[in-house]
Structure 1
């Protein structure tokens, strides 16, 4: 009787709602059906999250990214199904945009297909949480990120305006980006400058223009956008893009448009 009452009490106790920012990881095994309208040179937009899910910006940023592809004269396909990482399914695409795709969201077989895609010249545009520390696969860390995410300001300093400094103004990705530029964002910090691992930094954030916090300060070199010139395909990572409003900033839209155009060749 006591056990029964205890069980009834458990059933009647309100259970904590699941955190929408931390969905249960899902392994995709059934591939999505690609639309027949896809043309060669298409853009694949992937926002699968087996780690932290940026529920605030992903719906809007996916729409913005599809619009950028359309403005560039390219068809696109948006999915959260990692089984799209398959040699045959990747054939129509010239660039993959990892839109805050987090966690180890690919199986080893899917990751191998992605590796082959890059090895044969496919481009990658990785955004925000696509570079956080939930990614553990050595190839991904070395090829896409080149460093380790260590955190970002929290509390009242979570979203701050800061000065983005263009380090490579002649690079096509930086074309038309003004100086000064003071966007509001969630500013990621990293364990080391990815330039020490062969990356080329295109833009950094000036730590004197915001409050990174003692433990997150990187000093004079705080990279925020970089490319991997070692990869066969064109790979770019931007740590920016936490808020939906980021994707309405005309300067960030220009940077994303430049990045997709450059990565897709």
Structure 2
């Protein structure tokens, strides 16, 4: 049996930002994937690297930069085409944390992920100990009640497209916010997971288990 190959797109350049240590978080994600038996490669978000992506079984997006992107960049034309081809071909997609605020100039990515961070509307409280509530009976959260992290951010007021399955919520100032979801349609499977601000976030057993469950579902027949 062929070992599943995963690529973790790690934010740099156009798709980086001052707040997230993408090399650190991408390395932690890749380590968990390897523990699961996958071949995992961290690839920087540069036009050449993205355009050169080969065959893969899982695409993880750990990048950001959406607030600073004001339109398509011609230098990215081949890279955008490659990402569009992967998504159209049904490669499972996992967007983590700031992955809701990246590739904002690529409509196919937003459509596949099923939601986004909206500048000026979306927000998060101060980073710290956080708890999310698992909802529903989707295989990713089946049997779970809460996900707790000793140090993370709780993304709030995200824009979510219809058609997904809610996985996680949290409550901020009496308002319930959707924090994670799964989608399955003609394009294939996708998950958005808002956790994982920085490397130590993945030290939380609950958080690591959630990631493993997401990957298992995305790769399931």
TM-score band w.r.t. shorter chain = 0.7 to 0.9
1:232 and 1:97 mapped to 2: Cα distance?
Answer: 16
2:111 and 2:42 mapped to 1: Cα distance?
Answer: 25
Select which of 135, 139, 143 maps to 1:167: 135
Which ranges of structure 2 fall in alignment gaps of 5 or more residues?
Answer: none
Distance change (3 Å), C-alpha of 1:175 and 1:40: same
TM-score normalized by the length of structure 2: 0.79
**Paired residue for 2:122?**
151
Does the 8 A contact of 1:166 with 1:202 survive in 2? yes
**Paired residue for 2:80?**
111
2:153 and 2:37 mapped to 1: Cα distance?
Answer: 31
Distance change (3 Å), C-alpha of 1:51 and 1:164: same
CA shift for structure 1 position 40: 5.1
Distance change (3 Å), C-alpha of 1:83 and 1:54: same
Cα deviations across residues 29-63 of structure 1 (Å, max 9, x unaligned)?
xxxxxxxxxx6520101112324436654233222
**Paired residue for 1:63?**
27
- Asked if 1:130 corresponds to 2:99, the answer is yes
Cα-Cα RMSD = 2.8
Does the 8 A contact of 1:122 with 1:264 survive in 2? no
Does the 8 A contact of 2:3 with 2:37 survive in 1? no
Higher Rg of the two aligned structures: 1
**Paired residue for 1:187?**
154
- Asked if 1:85 corresponds to 2:50, the answer is yes
Secondary structure of the residue that 1:190 maps to in structure 2? Answer: coil
Select which of 170, 177, 201 maps to 1:205: 170
2:189 and 2:26 mapped to 1: Cα distance?
Answer: 21
CA shift for structure 1 position 74: 1.3
Does the 8 A contact of 1:54 with 1:242 survive in 2? no
Does the 8 A contact of 1:54 with 1:100 survive in 2? no
- Asked if 1:230 corresponds to 2:174, the answer is no
Secondary structure of the residue that 1:53 maps to in structure 2? Answer: coil
Distance change (3 Å), C-alpha of 1:185 and 1:89: closer
1:77 and 1:137 mapped to 2: Cα distance?
Answer: 23
Secondary structure of the residue that 2:57 maps to in structure 1? Answer: strand
Distance change (3 Å), C-alpha of 1:102 and 1:144: farther
2:53 and 2:63 mapped to 1: Cα distance?
Answer: 21
Secondary structure of the residue that 2:154 maps to in structure 1? Answer: coil
Distance change (3 Å), C-alpha of 1:82 and 1:200: farther
Which ranges of structure 1 fall in alignment gaps of 5 or more residues?
Answer: 1-38, 210-218
Secondary structure of the residue that 1:117 maps to in structure 2? Answer: helix
TM-score normalized by the length of structure 1: 0.67
2:110 and 2:53 mapped to 1: Cα distance?
Answer: 24
